[in-house]
Structure 1
Amino acid sequence: MSTPVVSRPQVWMGAGCVVLALLMMWGAQFISSEAGYGGVGPNFLPWAVAAGLLVCGGLLLWQALHGGYQHMPEPPEAPADWHATAWVSAGVIANALLLTTLGFTLSCALCFVLAVRGLRLSEGKAAGGLRQTLTDVVTGLLIAAPVYWLFSKLLSINLPGLTQTGWL
């Protein structure tokens, strides 16, 4: 019986998922568990995501140690698109940094605009001019505003807002 081939990148991917899940579990213990609407507290979702990530990471790690990811197609020989990655990363970082300053709705809309620009670039398309950027801003607002309203008004979850009215 032959020993299965172990791919180090696959092992690192599975182990990274497990470590990330454990870090999320560690952080989730500091979130209030006081039950809100429907008997679910604000710490429910972080625990659920961490548990799911732990299961997925464990399965990835087990599979990597027992012959690698089965029936996985060969990756394409395309180089990484760092320019597109920088735009998407800028959107996520800007959202995290500006959430308490601009409020949930505007910071998420900005994240959407920057991420969509990066995704367009990754497909080889033009990033977009003024008209496309304005369309992206409106689309981002149309996505973020109802989410803000749903969480803050319907679920009574406090998200940072730009004003005290609870509508923006």
Structure 2
Amino acid sequence: MLDLEAFKVESLSDFSANKKLKIRLRKVKSKALDTKFQQLHEEVFSEIDCLDCANCCKTTSPIFIKTDIDRLARVFRMKSTEFIDEYLHQDDEGDYVLNSAPCPFLNEDNTCLVYENRPKACREYPHTNRKNMLGILNLTLKNTLVCPAVLKIFQQIGQDYRK
């Protein structure tokens, strides 16, 4: 199991340096940065098992889009409005997010009760293997505080680009 307390301390202590790194990364060619993130994503996730952590499910909420809400409402044999009333609220930006953390669909063994039907944001998390990483560097920086894999990817990228 990952030591989430140690991760929290490490990610907070690295945050200032990672913020500076994010600024430097804006000068890197988009395709080169995408390639580097993709490579490190594959390496890091060959070593890290999300089921040993689930910190994202324990501390944050994905954004639920209409198709997610409709799909999950069907799974629970509810109307979409009932699903929203029971599990979601709109945040300051008008997005639907969970009412509380940890996620109500997180099982004790860190598996997901609705894994096959999970929201799109959960399917794509932590977004380190997608194109146009330059466009989501702010989100990726925030995710260094949530996901040990993202922190490790950022630390490894930093070895190449901090100078």
Normalised-by-shorter TM-score class: under 0.3
What is the TM-score when the length of structure 2 is the normalising length? Answer: 0.23
**Higher relative contact order, structure no. (Cα contacts within 8 Å, ≥ 6 residues apart):** 2
Higher share of residues assigned helix: 1
What is the TM-score when the length of structure 1 is the normalising length? Answer: 0.22
